[in-house]
Amino acid sequence: MKKAVYPGTFDPVTNGHLDVIKRGSIIFDTLIVSVGRNPLKETLFSVKERMEMIRDHVKELQNVKVDCFDGMLVDYLKKQQTNIILRGIRTVSDFEYEFQRALTNRALNKEVETVFVMTSEQYSFLNSTLIREAVSLGGSVSQFVPADVERRLKEKFKHMYGKNS
């Protein structure tokens, strides 16, 4: 059985992330989507909220599990008894960044392999930072995230800033 981990911040989960998850679920027998706790990143949503948003959209994918981790990804891979990381690539600059990460992970554990999946063209420009920014300024992101995620974003910004995003 081939098991992979798709790690990320997912703040929030986007249609691009969901595209990679669906495609990864076809490639691997088990795919663990793991929300990372990164002390160097300030997030809008809690780990619990991010996991809920992902779970809501992968229910139909029987071989997809949602989890969270902190610390070194290579240590988490050992805990999950796999050596495969799934990563989505949108652009050439993504590839450069992900290539460096893949080589670093392999240097930390020579058994680790990273599998890159190109995101579908319609999601190639998406990232969570731009989505958060657009909503904070009152924009609609309905074509980039599921409706419930957009609703959560608007609620979060309304609560934080009293804005009617």
pLDDT tens string 150-161 = 999 999 998 776
Catalytic residue among 50, 57, 87, 90: 90
More confident residue, 73 or 39: 73
- Distance, in Å, from the CA atom of 154 to the CA atom of 160, rounded to the nearest integer, reads 10
- Strand, coil or helix: what is 29? coil
Question: In the annotation, is 90 catalytic?
Answer: yes
Distances (CA, A) of 143 to 109, 118, 126, 146, 163: 39, 19, 10, 8, 21
Question: In the annotation, is 154 catalytic?
Answer: no
pLDDT tens string 97-143 = 999 999 999 999 999 999 999 988 888 888 898 999 999 999 999 99
Question: In the annotation, is 50 catalytic?
Answer: no
Distances (CA, A) of 40 to 9, 74, 92, 118, 136: 11, 18, 24, 27, 22
Q: Mean pLDDT, the chain, as a whole number?
A: 93
149 φ/ψ angles, rounded to the nearest 5 degrees: -70, -45
**pLDDT for position 93:** 83
Q: What is the mean pLDDT of residues 81-90?
A: 96
Residue 49's pLDDT band, with cuts at 50, 70 and 90, is very high
Catalytic residue among 17, 50, 57, 132: 17
Q: What is the mean pLDDT of residues 91-95?
A: 85
**pLDDT for position 165:** 47
Q: Which CATH superfamily is domain 3-121 in?
A: HUPs (3.40.50.620)
Q: What is the mean pLDDT of residues 34-38?
A: 93
Prediction pTM value: 0.92
**pLDDT for position 162:** 63
- 39 burial via Cβ count (<10 Å: 0-12, 13-18, 19+): exposed
Give the closest residue to 7 by CA, choosing from 27, 28, 21: 21
More confident residue, 34 or 127: 34
Question: In the annotation, is 128 catalytic?
Answer: yes
- Distance, in Å, from the CA atom of 56 to the CA atom of 143, rounded to the nearest integer, reads 18
Catalytic residue among 128, 152, 156, 165: 128
